[in-house]
Amino acid sequence: MESMYQEEGSSSVTCSPLQLFSMMSLSPSIGGIGSPYPWLSRELKSEERGLYLIHLLLTCANHVASGSLENANTTLEQISQLASPDGDTMQRIAAYFTEALADRILKTWPGLHRALNSTRIIMLSEEVMVQKYFFELFPFLKVAYILTNQAIVESMEGEKMVHIIDLNAAEPAQWIALLQVLSARPEGPPHLRITGIHQQKEVLDQMAHKLSEEAEKLDIPFQFNPVVSKLENLDFDKLRVKTGEALAISSILQLHSLLALDDESSSSRRKSPLLSRNSNGLHLQKVMLMNQSASLGDLLEKDMANGYTPSPDSTSSSSPASSNASLNAESFLNALWSLSPKVMVVTEQDSNHNGSTLMERLLEALYSYAALFDCLESTVSRTSLERFKIEKMLFGEEIKNIIACEGAERKERHEKLDKWFMRLDLCGFGNVPLSYYGMLQARRFLQSYGCEGYKMREENGCVAICWQDRSLFSTTAWRARK
Amino acid sequence: MVDLDNVSTASGEASISSSGNNNNNQTPKPTKKKRNLPGMPDPEAEVIALSPTTLLATNRFVCEICNKGFQRDQNLQLHRRGHNLPWKLRQRSSKEVRKRVYVCPESTCVHHDPSRALGDLTGIKKHFCRKHGEKKWKCDKCSKKYAVQSDWKAHSKVCGSREYKCDCGTVFSRRDSFITHRAFCDALAEENAKSQNQAVGKANSESDSKVLTGDSLPVAPTPAAITTPQSNSDLPENPPQIVEEPEAIVTTTTAAAAAAVLNANCSSSSSTSSTSNGCAATSSGVFASLFASSTTSASASMQSHTPVFTDLIRSMGCPDRSADFSAPPSSEAISLCLSTNPGSSIFGTGGQECRQYVPTHQPPAMSATALLQKAAQMGAAATNASLLRGLGIVSSSASTSSGQHDSLHWGLGQVEPEGSGLGPAGLGLGLPCDGDSGLKELMLGTPSMFGPKQTTLDFLGLGMAAGGSAGGGLSALITSIGGSGGLDVTAATASFGNGEFSGKDIGRNS
């Protein structure tokens, strides 16, 4: 350290950021939060700060992953000096990532974690609003709707009775658009039934109302069947699929949470995870790193108030990193297949946030959410409350889930398209190229959207919606193979 | 009621696939043995394929006295009572009748597949008649033909009862044709407030369709002044022109789509009434000239016509044409594009916001994506030297200013403008480095540089053995950050953190 300073003394004027980084990261916070680091002779520019934040984030993640919580704590402190949910893109991202990392650390003290979260209010209306903002402030859902609707319309050509199952019926716009398209069909509109699934009855009521209203205006025989249920508990009988009717399924950002069910099913076979405490604080055993299927959820379930003795490493014979046979996701898809849909359109995030190690997920998430935050930065003002809400309540929560949760708790298991391809293929679905016309419409929509960064990529009849080069969402169409 | 007679006396025509499950014709489905129709006909149901003759037959039961025909034997029997003839009503068979489902005998038909069988005899008869039968019933008001009498009756009740008039003057009696027409018509229409006020025809029009208001609609029919001329004179179609032109226009969506539809429409409707044809052709002509001029000002000959698409979609009616509209997708496109709903228009606010928002008041900051790529590049730097060069780059791009040192305050929300102009605002710089691998390298370092044992990751990718580089203290320092193992880091921080800083050091760089 001394040598470094001496060496750099002569070049103190051109003190480079990395030097600063290293100095800063090694020194404990002086004077507490908010006090300046006295040796800084100048403000960090946004870019430098951004780079520094990345550096710190990675350092911190490193520490968390290796269990050195003291260091993680230090790093967190430093990051909080720089990060801010009101700042520039990188600052915001850092804010949410560090919150997620902190949450992860906190989970090693389950009592503390639970206590801190015990009075959280979940406002349903806020949740609904945030989904609305996501729909309005990004083109992703709109493009997905365009592609989905077009696929449905084309496959239902000539059908008199159409039944659509919406795995997450939250946004009426999609079906209103479809109603309008169907009403303009040359052979006249079909008798349309939409079965909407959602966890909240109020949302379904709202959908029913809006859609029925629209159908009435367009004079389309229409029926909306609400199904209040979580996807994982879905009772397929409630869907009331009828004989001889043409069925379409629309799944938008819903399937990935089912992947978490694998962990749940296999958790019962697992031994208790390892947790030990020593005088330096809590350290997660290395084995937790290696056996990613070990579930923090398990940890939380046990009585940890008093800590417990570490079990020998040999007991970490917990199940190997979950194999690709996602039992419950697979059975869900099989059930969908057995409904013999004419077409199923699946839209999912196209990023790999399902890596087995924290670092993998963190790195990938950094890239994906950087892109998403960039989208907002380019299109929405920094002072916008909607933007803040999306960042905090939507992305922030996703990031928290990806980073801080393990096992069945970790619902945001985004995977890349090729993985979904395999899964769907395995469950008896055959890929159907999206219609040329649908893609054309989607492209035009994006073009007219007015923001240069959004791009659309098409490959083998599958569409990926990207921000710059980063693919964020993918849409594909499927039919049930016999 | 099923005519068991006809079915069972397989005079070579009828056939019954064996009862039981439908799996005869399809691969067995997995697991589920549900009782009630999860998308498949009841597996217990008997699949019946009646012959075309049977399906088409009407009035097979004839009274011998007066030759009156009946569709059902029961009805005939009841009629025979009137002639004082002996009659016998057959009872429903007392045992449980197995549920029957019917498939269409036409092999090209969708409903030929037992999994798409229909549950109702009347239904399958009507289906067969409609789809594969001859259209014997013709509406007298319009020229529509029907194969099923009930369809015909239903139609003639509504035919002509409603009329929809497009702003361009064309009259339609069918809503769907009206809507499709208006799709094109609208694409050529000028969007301005005045035209929006002219709610057309039978619009159940709601004000919310006005969302497509003038300015900010992203998909708005562009060069406004497309309107259809007042007269219905035929204009020559310019299909090729229309198709090519779209590129000339910024918002090509509706325009091109409309053009395409218009195109198709024009060609297909050539046989129809001159009114509609004229209108359509006119529209295309207008369209073409619009493209040609590629201006937004209305041309003199055009009449301003504006109902917004959604208006269009909402409203009813269309000209009754015998030709099929061959390009429904376009109108769908348009409707999709312009689907409006005050609460959730697909196109609405987002696009508007996007287009209107210009981040001028925010400093052009490097996007997060670009920052990550840069960090990755730095991390991927293989040697200390290049790292320092990298540092040099970084530092040179940022001017050093002597001044405040409370720069660390901003974490708490006092972001000050940076304005170092590092790149286009909000857009990634598209740095050539493959960000993903670079950051990973940043994390993992290159194996060759690692010491034999790394339990944690050297996230700067320098991988130099702690303390072992020619680069001197700096690199060693950095290495030790990423360090080789938690313990090392702990030690390092401990050593650094516990008072190694002297006031001299701290003050050195200020």
How far does the CA of residue B62 sit from the closest CA of chain A (Å)? 33
Question: Do the chains contact at A217 and B474, CB–CB below 8 Å?
Answer: no
Taking only residues 16 to 75 of chain A, the set having a beta carbon closer than 8 angstroms to any beta carbon of chain B reads 16-19, 22-23, 25-28, 34-51, 54-55, 58-59, 62-63, 65-68, 70-71, 74
Interface residue of B113, B347, B407 to substitute, partner A, most A CBs within 10 Å: B407
Percent of chain B exceeding pLDDT 90 equals: 0
The amino acid at residue A110 is: P
- Write the pLDDT tens digit of every residue in B105-114: 888 888 888 7
Of the candidates B42, B176, B361, the beta carbon closest to that of A188 is on B176
Helix, strand and coil percent figures for chain B, each rounded to 5: 45, 5, 50
Tell me the per-residue pLDDT of A352-367, one tens digit each, with 9 for 90 and over. 999 999 999 999 999 9
Would you call B67 helix, strand, or coil by DSSP?
coil
Using an 8 Å CB-CB cutoff, list chain B residues near A444. Answer: 219, 251-253, 256-257, 333, 337
- A153 has a pLDDT exceeding 80: yes
Going by pLDDT thresholds of 50, 70 and 90, the confidence category of residue B318 is very low
Q: Which residues of A touch B310 (CB under 8 A)?
A: 180
Tell me the mean pLDDT in the region B475-483.
Answer: 39
The b/e string for B252-283 (b: 16+ C-beta within 10 A; e otherwise) is bbbbbbbbbbbbbbbbbbeebbebbbbbbbbb
A317 touches chain B (CB under 8 A): no
Q: Which residue has the higher pLDDT, A132 or A310?
A: A132
- When pLDDT is averaged across residues A122-145 and rounded to a whole number, the result is 91
> Torsion over CA of B261, B262, B265 and B267, rounded to 10 degrees?
-120
A382 — contact with chain B (CB < 8 Å)?
Answer: yes
pLDDT above 80: residue A42: no
Which residues of chain A does B218 touch, with a Cβ-Cβ cutoff of 8 Å? 445, 448-450
The residues near B346 (Cβ < 8 Å, ≥ 6 apart) are A142, A145, A146, A173, A174, A177, B336, B337, B339
Nearest to A66 among B39, B369, B456 (CB): B456
Token couple for B453: 């044992």
Looking at residues A12-36, what average pLDDT do you find? 46
Name the H helices within A409-451. 417-426, 436-449
Euclidean distance between CA atoms B490 and B487, whole angstroms: 5
Determine which helix (DSSP H) or strand (DSSP E) holds A2, and give its type and residue range. helix A2-9
In chain B, which residues have their Cβ closer than 8 Å to the Cβ of A5?
A: 473, 505, 508
Write out the DSSP string of A289-329. HH-TTS-HHHHHHS--TT--PPPPGGG--PPPS--S--HHH
**B122-177 pLDDT per residue, tens:** 888 888 888 888 888 888 777 788 888 888 888 887 776 667 777 777 777 667 77
CA separation for the pair B287, B223 (Å, rounded): 10
Residue B231: Cβ within 10 Å count: 14
Select the more confidently predicted residue: B311 or A196: A196
ipTM score for this prediction = 0.70
- If one counts every other C-beta atom within 10 angstroms of the C-beta of residue B405, the result is 16
Instruction: Please indicate if any CB of chain A lies within 8 Å of the CB of B488.
Output: no
Q: Sorting pLDDT into bands at 50, 70 and 90, what band is A267?
A: low
Pairing of strands A454-459, A429-432: unpaired
- Say yes or no for a CB contact (<8 Å) between B425 and A36: no
Are the Cβ atoms of B375 and A139 closer than 8 angstroms?
no
Chain B residue closest in CA terms to A176: B339
B436 at interface of A, judged by CB pairs closer than 8 A: yes
- Whether this prediction's pTM lies above 0.90 is answered by no
pLDDT digits (tens, 9 = 90+) for A70-103: 999 999 999 998 998 998 899 999 999 999 999 9
Rounded distance between C-alpha atoms, residue A283 and residue A337, angstroms? 46
Taking the CA of residue A409 and the nearest CA in chain B, the distance in Å comes to: 26
**Which pLDDT tens digit goes with each residue over B187-229?**
555 444 444 455 444 444 444 444 333 344 344 344 433 344 4
> Cβ of A468 and B362 within 8 Å?
no
* pLDDT of A319 over the 60 cut: no
- Token pair recorded at residue A360: 């993998």
Q: Pairing state of beta strands B137-138 and B145-146? A: antiparallel
Q: What does the CA dihedral A308, A313, A317, A319 come to, rounded to 10 degrees? A: 70
Cα dihedral B166, B167, B170, B171 sign: positive
* C-alpha to C-alpha distance for B330 and B333, rounded to whole angstroms: 5
Short-list B201, B206, B281, B198, CA closest to B238: B281
Asked whether B206 and B304 are in contact (CB, 8 A), the reply is no
Query: Among B339, B340, B319, B323, which residue's Cα sits nearest to residue B331?
Result: B339
How far is CA B61 from each of CA B1, B9, B75, rounded to the nearest angstrom? 14, 16, 9
| Residues ≥6 apart with Cβ < 8 Å to A88 | A46, A50, A377, A382, B362, B363, B365, B415, B418
Q: How many CB atoms lie within 10 A of CB B172?
A: 29
Lowest-pLDDT choice from A131-135, A375-379, B108-112, B219-223: B219-223
Q: Are A455 and A447 in contact (CB under 8 A)?
A: no
Mean residue pLDDT across chain A: 81
Closest CA to B283 of A64, B297, B269: B269
CA-to-CA distance for A2 and B473, rounded, in angstroms? 8
| Nearest one of A399, A359, A414 to A97, comparing CA atoms | A399
Q: In chain B, which residues have their Cβ closer than 8 Å to the Cβ of A191?
A: none
DSSP per residue, B349-361: HHHHHHHH--TTS
Q: By CA distance, what is A468's nearest residue in B?
A: B428
The arithmetic mean of pLDDT across residues B400-418, rounded, is 37
C-beta of residue B265 within 8 angstroms of C-beta of residue A184: no
Check residue B159 and give its pLDDT: 74
The listed range with the strongest mean pLDDT (A328-342, B149-163, B301-315, B485-499) is: A328-342
The secondary structure of residue A395, as a DSSP letter, is I
Q: Which of A194-198, B177-181, B280-284, B363-367 has the highest mean pLDDT?
A: A194-198
Binned at pLDDT 50, 70 and 90, residue A156 comes out as very high
> Rg of chain A's alpha carbons, rounded to an integer?
25
